[in-house]
């Protein structure tokens, strides 16, 4: 990675503004955090700063309050959980800028941690406002981006803030870029990508940019329907991206030209509607009924994919194989997660819903790396720049 990190800066006694991604899921009734993996992921950076006597000021968004104060999206539960993980009290503020926040920062001693209120309570955060970023920057001496999951966003606390403070990467962002960069630069072979999710359009950049790197592509999820339709199969009531049929054909042709094995399901589960009460049945792709829809990959496909994955030294997985939220449509996804957890290989999970799956199944620690950014990882592996990374100081400078 060619960007400077927090390790390159003197932080003792300095006010360090750290952008983190604490957008954690909360229980609707109790407001208890149901998955703290994003908080856990930032602990190395926070502990690094505490141990070196920095005055750490954390800032994050939570949910989508759309520029308004929403009581249910206040950062208090996050501060409480972070306090437990650190073994020290993490103070909070009423807002994210203003006189009260400035007073709270002034009271900080070396080793203290302060968490600002939800950045998205302020309407100028998502608008990448220079004025808002400038006021936020006045709280600190140095800016650290440790929020990889939102580094593909051009928001005030991600991009404009760097106009007013020296800006470097946190340890999580460094790890994300080095790990994902390793896939693009020097993956161990055989290298397979397991790609699912609902839409081909979400994965085009990734598939095209990594086609020359991989040995095999395994395609599952809702996007399978578009690939099958492109090959003239009946897909029933499944969602088809009609404007991406030519794209799917092009990707399959490119795979052939590059000597890449592209495997589609040979059988799928189909159902008449998407609900917990619906029963699904397995059919071969030649026999998909016109009045049913694809909801998961089938048992023979699970075996085919598993056989291919067992050969690999590197696997990147992004996107569920079926409608994971409904138990009877989740076996394809669960089977892939269990298989990857058993491999003696580098297994990288591409954030988003895929990360949620392995975390929920308590398999995250069995994977080599679980990215904290779904959209950010897809954009990065798709060969596009991340605005929040581009603005950080270069090592050579």
Q: Which CATH number does 6-173 carry?
A: 3.40.50.1260
Q: Of the listed 199, 261, 338, 366, which one is catalytic? A: 199
Q: Is 219 exposed, middle or buried (0-12, 13-18, 19+ CB in 10 A)?
A: buried
pTM to 2 decimals? 0.93
Top-tier CATH class for 187-381: alpha beta
Whether the CB-CB separation of 114 and 91 falls below 8 Å is answered with: yes
User: Consecutive sets of 10 residues in the chain, 397 residues long: mean pLDDT of each?
Assistant: 95 98 92 93 98 98 95 96 97 95 97 98 94 97 98 97 98 97 94 95 94 96 97 96 96 97 98 92 97 98 98 97 95 98 97 92 96 94 96 89
State both tokens at 281.
């049945």
Q: Of the listed 3, 38, 52, 120, which one is catalytic? A: 38
Q: What is the pLDDT of residue 351?
A: 81
State both tokens at 45.
């950076």
Please give the span between the terminal C-alpha atoms of the chain, in angstroms, as a whole number.
14
**Would you call 47 a catalytic residue per the annotation?**
no
State both tokens at 41.
């992921």
From CA 96, how far away is CA 338, in angstroms rounded? 42
From CA 224, how far away is CA 26, in angstroms rounded? 32
Convert the pLDDT of each residue in 262-317 to its tens digit: 999 999 999 999 998 899 999 999 999 999 999 999 999 999 999 999 999 999 99
Size of the chain in residues: 397
Q: Of the listed 63, 111, 127, 375, which one is catalytic? A: 375
**Would you call 81 a catalytic residue per the annotation?**
no
**Would you call 375 a catalytic residue per the annotation?**
yes
Q: What is the pLDDT of residue 397?
A: 63
Fold agreement (6-173, 187-381)? yes
Is the alpha carbon torsion for 153, 157, 163, 166 positive or negative? negative
The pairing of strands 314-318 and 346-349 is: parallel
Q: What is the pLDDT of residue 352?
A: 87
From CA 383, how far away is CA 392, in angstroms rounded? 18
SS3 245: helix
Q: Of the listed 352, 373, 374, 388, which one is catalytic? A: 352
**Domain boundaries in the chain?**
6-173, 187-381
CA 191 to chain centre: 21
State both tokens at 70.
């929403």
**Would you call 385 a catalytic residue per the annotation?**
no
């Amino acid at each position: 990675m060619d960007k400077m990190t927090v390790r390159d800066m003197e932080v003792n006694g300095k006010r360090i503004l750290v952008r983190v991604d604490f957008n954690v899921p909360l229980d609707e009734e109790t407001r208890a955090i149901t998955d703290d993996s994003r908080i856990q992921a930032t602990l190395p950076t926070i502990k690094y700063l505490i141990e070196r006597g920095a005055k750490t000021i954390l800032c994050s968004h939570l949910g989508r309050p759309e520029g308004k104060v929403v009581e249910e999206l206040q950062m208090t539960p996050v501060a409480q959980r972070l306090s437990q993980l650190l073994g020290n009290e993490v103070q909070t503020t009423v807002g994210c800028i203003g006189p009260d926040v400035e007073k709270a920062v002034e009271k900080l001693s070396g080793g203290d941690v302060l968490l600002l209120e939800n950045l998205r309570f302020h309407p100028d955060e998502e608008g990448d406002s220079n004025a808002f970023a400038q006021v936020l920057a006045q709280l600190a001496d140095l800016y650290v981006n440790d929020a990889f999951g939102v580094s593909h966003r051009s928001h005030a606390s991600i991009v404009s803030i760097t106009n007013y403070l020296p800006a470097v990467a946190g340890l999580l962002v460094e790890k994300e870029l080095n790990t994902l960069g390793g896939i693009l630069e020097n993956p161990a072979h055989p290298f397979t990508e397991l790609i699912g999710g609902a839409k081909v359009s979400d994965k085009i950049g990734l598939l095209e940019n990594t086609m020359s790197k991989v040995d095999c592509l395994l395609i599952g999820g809702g996007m399978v329907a578009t690939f099958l339709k492109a090959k003239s199969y009946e897909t029933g009531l499944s969602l088809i991206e009609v404007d991406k049929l030519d794209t799917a054909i092009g990707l399959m042709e490119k795979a052939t030209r590059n000597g890449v094995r592209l495997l589609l399901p040979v059988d799928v589960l189909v159902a008449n509607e998407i609900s917990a009460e619906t029963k699904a049945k397995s059919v071969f792709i030649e026999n998909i009924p016109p009045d049913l829809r694809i909801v998961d990959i089938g048992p023979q496909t699970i075996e085919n994919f598993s056989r291919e994955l067992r050969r690999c030294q590197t696997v990147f997985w992004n996107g569920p194989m079926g409608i994971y939220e409904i138990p009877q449509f989740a076996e394809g996804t669960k089977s892939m997660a269990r298989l990857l957890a058993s491999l003696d290989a580098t297994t990288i999970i591409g954030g988003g819903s895929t990360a949620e799956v392995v975390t929920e199944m308590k398999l995250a620690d069995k994977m080599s790396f679980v990215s904290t950014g779904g959209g950010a990882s897809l954009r990065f592996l798709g060969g596009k720049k991340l605005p929040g990374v581009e603005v950080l100081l270069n090592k050579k400078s």
